[in-house]
A and B are shown apart, each in its own frame.
Chain A
Amino acid sequence: MMLTLLVLPALIMFFVSFSQHPKAKFLLPVSSFAILLPIIELFVLPKPYAIAGSYLVADKLDTYILLVSSLVGIGVTLALLTLDKHVRVTAKAYRRFYRFFAIFWVGLTVSILANHMGIYWIGLELATLSTVYMIKTNHTRAAHKEAWNYMIVGAIAISLVLFGIILMYASAKPILGEDAMRFDLLLSHAKEIPSPFLFEMGFAIATVGMFVKMGFFPMNLWLANIERASFYPVAALFSGILESAVIIGFFRFSEIAKEVNYAHLFGFVFVYTLLTIFIVSFLIFRAKDFMRLFSLSGIEHMALIALFWVSGGTFAALLHFGAHAFLKPALFLSTGVLESKGKYRIAGALRGYHGKKGTLFWFLVSLFLLAIISLPPSPMFFSELYGFGAMIETAKHSDHMLAMIAAILLLLILLSVIFYRFVAIYQSMKYEGKEEEKKVYTSELFALVIFALCLVALLLPASLDYLRSIA
């Protein structure tokens, strides 16, 4: 029953997408709000709560991630109402977009709630494949090319994840049998795994697959190019929902890997994320359009979340994750308006807004832009404080304390480069360029207001207590 309620909005979306009635799309934002009811019930129910046997189990972590991704889903359905006002899209392509969005949503709900490595992979693969067509909705040569690119690189990434899962399963099968696929049992028997090397090998391969999927080294520009070529709601879905499902997989796998050999896990993730942020910070410095800028910034934040998580800063990682999941889709969705006078016009992008809607729009976008670079009172400011605190704490207990402190300092320098670039871009958007009138629509503004309220809610004491209780 609970599972039916959770996938009901997506199913409604799937069936409504076949309707040719021009008003049918207005039903979708309303129906998407319905997903909040079962999620609220999940928050109240005792954890862990079995939704579908031992395959889908809601615990505190996945309930939180499901709530965040569902709120992003609601925001995107609202912004989709005015997609045709900003870009050229045929009615048929529009309907197909909704159809694949629905499949994507089902896949990710399954993936987030999965307590089974195989089911997790199946959900993620379903979401990956459905995204391919969403990219192709934009009928340009670049979008066609990037859709194929996503299909092929995405397939390689997801195959690496499956490869890793098979090795992890093989490592634990002698003690757990077919139950070696279950995350909870793997975690509780992590220390008894007869071949830890095999498990670690599988973990490393699966992690590389997940990191490639999020645009980490060496595929830093892969995701940015795809998001540039596709319509802006696709980028919002990537950053708010798809990456949530990928990162929860990383959380689950790394929890087990932490029990198997913490030093190996930490060293591997630390070097990988540091390398990613090193490259991404310079790419951000050279970014000349909003989509690539936000996309690259997304990679930076996902790398930070992974780093905080393995450093023991679980609370910081989850707070950072929530803030990023709301801020980045909000920025991607506002790109539809910001780029309405040209793709590469950063100067003056925050000028030319009139009336209450226009004023509220530029005010919210300014707040989001400054919040993404962790200016207080952004939740990211607090998460980075706690996250870096956790990293220093880990460094103090490490055998390589000086090297780690040096690496943390390097990381702070790289983050300053990104900070400087964002501030320069914000000033250019607000104080340079020509003033050209831009139109803001109610539905997209409503989506931004929802994201702003979610960010505020994230800082409420009750929310912070909940995140601490997960840690």
Chain B
Amino acid sequence: MIDFLIGLFLATLIVALFTSRLYRLILWYSMNSLILGLLALFMGTALDDRAMLITGIATILIKAIGIPYLLKNLGAKFHFVRQIQPEIKVQYAIILIPAILVFTFYLAEPITHMIHGNANYIAISISSLFLSLLLMMEHRNVAPKIIGFLSMENALFLLGITATDGMPMLVELGIFFDLLMAIVVINLLFHNEEANL
């Protein structure tokens, strides 16, 4: 089940890279976060780790429901451009994305021997990080760049739960707090910026 969810996590991110509509991109981010939350819940149950279960629930509530809802509201309030054509053409992206995946598996190869269990997940976390960076780079508009930044946080979270069997609870909560602070700052930045969107 965990393998299936990790695959879905990567798949949602790849689909997001080809999306040319903003609300659809937000939906894929929400799906990505939902799968991450479910992954934390499954792993938390398997490891009997209560902190990871709480983190999983918080991920679903904040990242899969709260932030997408807020972003959609911000989009309506500040009239974001909804047609977001990626700068990298589809035919090039089709070549680039598998190349990133192969490269990251090669890059993570020495590390995977040192981690007990879930070894390939580290490679997937690193590739998710690169794909999120690609998402930020391939769009000119600010809104998809924010989704790229949020996806990057998801990739880091995935690395945290797979490489270390969960980070300390205090750190997880701190990261959530910072994420909320980021949303506040993003909201403030959008004020008086409608013309630039």
A459 within 8 A of B: no
Q: Find A129's partner among B133, B165, B185, B196 (CB 8 Å cutoff).
A: B185
Q: Once bound together, how far apart are the Cα atoms of A121 and B172, in whole Å?
A: 11
The interface-forming segment of B21-29, B97-105, B155-163 is B155-163
Q: Find A166's partner among B164, B174, B188, B193 (CB 8 Å cutoff).
A: B164
A133 within 8 A of B: yes
Whether the pair B175, A139 counts as a contact (CB closer than 8 A) is: no
The chain B residue with its CB closest to the CB of A162 is B156
Q: Find B164's partner among A126, A162, A169 (CB 8 Å cutoff).
A: A169
The interface-forming segment of B4-12, B59-67, B68-76, B176-184 is B176-184
Whether the pair B174, A144 counts as a contact (CB closer than 8 A) is: no
In the complex, how many angstroms separate the beta carbon of B164 from the nearest chain A beta carbon? 5
Q: Find B168's partner among A136, A147, A181 (CB 8 Å cutoff).
A: A181
Q: Once bound together, how far apart are the Cα atoms of A126 and B192, in whole Å?
A: 23
Scoring B residues 82 to 120 as 1 if CB is less than 8 Å from chain A, else 0, what string do you get?
000000000000000000000000000011001110000
Scoring B residues 126 to 169 as 1 if CB is less than 8 Å from chain A, else 0, what string do you get?
00010001001000001001000100110010011001110110
Scoring A residues 124 to 139 as 1 if CB is less than 8 Å from chain B, else 0, what string do you get?
0110011011001001
Whether the pair B114, A155 counts as a contact (CB closer than 8 A) is: no
B46 within 8 A of A: no
Whether the pair B156, A159 counts as a contact (CB closer than 8 A) is: yes
Whether the pair A122, B177 counts as a contact (CB closer than 8 A) is: yes
Whether the pair A132, B164 counts as a contact (CB closer than 8 A) is: no
Q: Once bound together, how far apart are the Cα atoms of A376 and B60, in whole Å?
A: 60
Whether the pair A122, B114 counts as a contact (CB closer than 8 A) is: no
B54 within 8 A of A: no
Q: Knowing A122-B171, A144-B196 touch, does A152 contact B178 (C-beta < 8 A)?
A: no
Interface of A is mostly: helix
B170 within 8 A of A: yes
Q: Find B152's partner among A122, A151, A156, A174 (CB 8 Å cutoff).
A: A156
Q: Knowing A152-B136, A166-B167 touch, does A144 contact B193 (C-beta < 8 A)?
A: yes
B58 within 8 A of A: no
Interface residues of A in 290-317 (CB under 8 A from B): none
A201 within 8 A of B: yes
In the complex, how many angstroms separate the beta carbon of A111 from the nearest chain B beta carbon? 12
**Size of A's binding interface in residues, CB under 8 A:** 39
Q: Knowing A166-B156, A201-B111 touch, does A119 contact B185 (C-beta < 8 A)?
A: no
Whether the pair B196, A156 counts as a contact (CB closer than 8 A) is: no
Residues of B within 8 A of A139 (CB): 192
Q: Once bound together, how far apart are the Cα atoms of A155 and B182, in whole Å?
A: 10
A287 within 8 A of B: no
Q: Find A118's partner among B133, B170, B185 (CB 8 Å cutoff).
A: B170
Q: Find B181's partner among A119, A129, A159 (CB 8 Å cutoff).
A: A129
B1 within 8 A of A: no
The chain B residue with its CB closest to the CB of A195 is B114
In the complex, how many angstroms separate the beta carbon of B142 from the nearest chain A beta carbon? 6
Whether the pair A118, B168 counts as a contact (CB closer than 8 A) is: yes
Whether the pair A173, B174 counts as a contact (CB closer than 8 A) is: no
Residues of A within 8 A of B167 (CB): 118, 166, 169
A465 within 8 A of B: no
The chain B residue with its CB closest to the CB of A194 is B114
Q: Knowing A155-B152, A173-B164, A198-B111 touch, does A119 contact B189 (C-beta < 8 A)?
A: no
In the complex, how many angstroms separate the beta carbon of B146 from the nearest chain A beta carbon? 8
Q: Once bound together, how far apart are the Cα atoms of A130 and B178, in whole Å?
A: 10
B186 within 8 A of A: yes
Listed residue (B111, B115, B149, B178) with the most chain A CB atoms within 10 angstroms of its CB: B178
Whether the pair A118, B171 counts as a contact (CB closer than 8 A) is: yes
Interface residues of A in 185-222 (CB under 8 A from B): 194-195, 197-198, 201
Whether the pair B189, A147 counts as a contact (CB closer than 8 A) is: yes
Whether the pair A159, B152 counts as a contact (CB closer than 8 A) is: yes
A393 within 8 A of B: no
Whether the pair A132, B114 counts as a contact (CB closer than 8 A) is: no
Whether the pair A148, B142 counts as a contact (CB closer than 8 A) is: yes
Whether the pair A181, B171 counts as a contact (CB closer than 8 A) is: yes
Residues of A within 8 A of B156 (CB): 159, 162-163, 166
Q: Once bound together, how far apart are the Cα atoms of A361 and B62, in whole Å?
A: 52
Q: Once bound together, how far apart are the Cα atoms of A152 and B114, in whole Å?
A: 32
Q: Find A197's partner among B114, B181, B185 (CB 8 Å cutoff).
A: B114
Q: Knowing A129-B178, A197-B110, A197-B114 touch, does A152 contact B171 (C-beta < 8 A)?
A: no
Q: Once bound together, how far apart are the Cα atoms of A121 and B164, in whole Å?
A: 17
Q: Once bound together, how far apart are the Cα atoms of A152 and B137, in whole Å?
A: 10
Whether the pair B159, A197 counts as a contact (CB closer than 8 A) is: no
Q: Once bound together, how far apart are the Cα atoms of A266 and B111, in whole Å?
A: 22
Residues of B within 8 A of A283 (CB): none
Residues of A within 8 A of B182 (CB): 129, 155
Residues of B within 8 A of A119 (CB): 170-171, 174
The chain A residue with its CB closest to the CB of B133 is A156
A171 within 8 A of B: yes
The chain A residue with its CB closest to the CB of B107 is A201
Q: Knowing A133-B185, A198-B111 touch, does A170 contact B164 (C-beta < 8 A)?
A: yes
3 tightest A-B CB contacts, nearest first:
A118-B171, A122-B174, A195-B114
Known contacts A136-B188, A144-B189, then 11 further A-B pairs from the complex at CB < 8 Å, ordered by chain A residue = A125-B178, A126-B178, A130-B185, A132-B185, A144-B196, A148-B189, A163-B159, A167-B159, A169-B167, A173-B165, A195-B114
**Pairs across A and B, CB under 8 Å, 15 listed:** A55-B170, A118-B170, A122-B178, A126-B181, A129-B178, A130-B185, A145-B196, A148-B142, A148-B189, A152-B149, A155-B152, A156-B152, A159-B153, A163-B129, A166-B160
